[in-house]
Amino acid sequence: MDNSEIIQALKDCDAVQFGDFTLASGQKSNFYINIKKASTDPKTLKIIADYITRLLPAVADLNAGGIIIGGVELGGVPIATAVSLSSQQPLLIIRKSEKEYGTKSRYVGELDPNKEIILMEDVTTSGGSVKKAIAALQEDGALIRKVITIVDRESGAAESLKELGVDLIPLVSSSELVNE
């Protein structure tokens, strides 16, 4: 699928920034993908959600018991919510840790082990954040085979997730954003 509309939308909302940055992975970079600008801009978020919704039939068997759209707090939640609304698939929000009050749940929504969870991620670098969520989900019996990320920084996330048997599906690579 042609991702030029996403690339343009990310540039239009100023999600691509240049300077000296330290990433969540600890790596240094001369550019930063401020995806929060995209996930808080209704026009850009709709473009992303609609694109992912069109992509879903190619990456998941929508008829085999259904799927769940998952989002890891914080960055994955607006994306997953928008994709859930666009695709009409159920939403699961994965907290970074269990709550210490109320239900003490790590999840918002229903974790159904009979449905594959397609995780949404904003930006992947090494894959460390999403790997922790995958490990927690798998401990609770969930099936995760795909992570869809808006931007892959091409810094090892795909290889790292492959070790878990999970495919990373980037909508855009950082080289496409920075070099165009």
Average pLDDT over residues 69-97: 92
pLDDT tens digit sequence for 32-82: 889 899 999 999 999 999 999 999 988 887 666 689 999 998 889 999 999
**Domain extents in the chain:** 45-172
Class of domain 45-172: alpha beta
The answer to which of 6-10, 100-104, 155-159 has the lowest mean pLDDT is 100-104
Q: Which residues are annotated as a binding site for orotate?
A: 125, 153
Q: What is the pTM of this model?
A: 0.91
Q: Which residues are annotated as a binding site for 5-phospho-alpha-D-ribose 1-diphosphate?
A: 95-96, 99, 121-129
Indicate whether 99 pLDDT > 70: no
Q: What is the dihedral of CA 163, 107, 37, 35, to 10 degrees?
A: 0
CB 56 within 8 A of CB 66: no
Q: Which residues are annotated as a binding site?
A: 95-96, 99, 121-129, 153
Angstrom CA distances, 17 to 9, 14, 68, 129, 173, stand at: 14, 7, 32, 22, 15
Strand-pair partners of 29: 21
